[in-house]
Amino acid sequence: MSIDAPTRYGVPQQHDWNAMSDDAFRARVREQVQSTYPGSLRYAPHRLRWSVLAPWYRHMASIGWIAPSWPTHCGGMGLSPSKLLIFLEEHERWGVARYQDHGVLLIGPLLMRFGTEAQRRRFLPGILSCDAIWCQGYSEPGAGSDLASLRTRAVRDGDAWVIDGQKTWTTLAHDATHIFVLARTDPQARKQDGITFFLVDIATPGIRVRPIRDIAGHEEFCEVFFDGVRVPADSVLGDVNGGWSIAKSLLGYERVALGSPKLCEYGLKMLEHVARLAGLEDDPSFRDAFATLHLDVIHLADAYAAFADLLVRGEPIGPDVSLLKVWSTETFQRIADLIVQCAGACAALRGDTELGGEVADVVGAWYKARPATIYGGSNEIQRNIIARQVLGLPG
């Protein structure tokens, strides 16, 4: 059944996906993913670069499958929470690698809620076509979990703003075409009140990106330097000095994304694989530990579905979303730790190593799991949010 409502920014949907049965929708997604996603890229042990993933994701964009949770009139698939979970489950089941999807997960929803119509027309089509790849300019060397202490500044100069400062731990900034930046625009105001949210083309003169090599030998993160970067006045999203409220809204969207069961489900598949190679898949102690972790992931998926429902309905995300980030990342750490235990001495070797007559990257998940409780706001901060804003405990 075709959708009659016109789409304003992207490819019109050819079906009302939510009208399909779950089984029919799952079969459709499975067929599309299995027939088009390159087998050589399945279950990548680390984040892949955009140059590797671009052909497949551009294909998905061409059929309107790049923004599953966006409403159809904005170019998305308009999936209900149950259909969204099926969509994600089938991608995870086939080992589809995540790309630099900040535009779909973060900026798109913010533009729909806070942007002007001119900004939506300027930025949403590029996100939907994968011509615009976004990264996040939040953390700084002295402002990570305490983000409101940021020192990057923007000063008004005629019809432009001039940005100076530095961001760090910026995921895949060297693949991005755009960056969203928090900068201080009123140094005299209370630190949360003097911050503005900017939408910036990363090719703007004065921006320099420098990759950071991590302990696993990959360059997933970057430093981004701003030296007299001039951006148009209409690059401000929302109100001048009103960026903190937008930043908190974005963190809500981000924590839903970080709380997705996808990473844990990937970890469980890797755990089963390593346990089989190590000859432990039928060991009672292993089966007991695996069952406990599997139940945690199933319950995580249920909680994730509830927050995804809020996003689909366009309702604000409350502070209780912090539980998703804590739950997901700490479960993934326990999964990664068990992978290492199962691998035995092979866990001392980085990269692909032989185990049980096959080759596996047994410490890849462990490397992924170490920073997971820190990025997106450390889990200590998340617990403080839950204690104060959800449970009402004294500060």
Please name the helix (run of DSSP H) or strand (run of DSSP E) that holds residue 360, with its range, or none.
strand 358-360
What CA–CA distance (Å, rounded) separates 252 from 248?
6
Residues acting as catalytic residues: 254
Coil, helix or strand at residue 97: coil
What dihedral angle (degrees, nearest 10) is formed by the CA atoms of 147, 152, 156, 160?
-100
DSSP 236: B
Contact (CB, 8 A) for 251 and 77: no
Q: Determine how many CB atoms are found less than 10 A away from the CB of residue 1.
A: 9
Say if CB 141 and CB 289 are below 8 A apart: no
Which residues is 207 bridged to in the sheet? 226
- 98's tokens: 């995540």
Exposure of 367 in the CB half-sphere (CA atoms within 13 A): 20
Residue from 154, 204, 140 nearest 177 by CA: 204
150 vs 277: CA distance, rounded Å: 47
Angle, vertex CA 106, rays to CA 325 and CA 249, nearest 5: 70
Cα gap 130→57, rounded to integer Å: 7
Q: By the 8 A CB rule, do 317 and 310 touch?
A: yes
Q: First vs last Cα of the chain: how many Å apart? A: 54
Tokens of 7: 């789409």
Q: Identify whether the C-beta of residue 262 lies closer than 8 Å to the C-beta of residue 304.
A: no
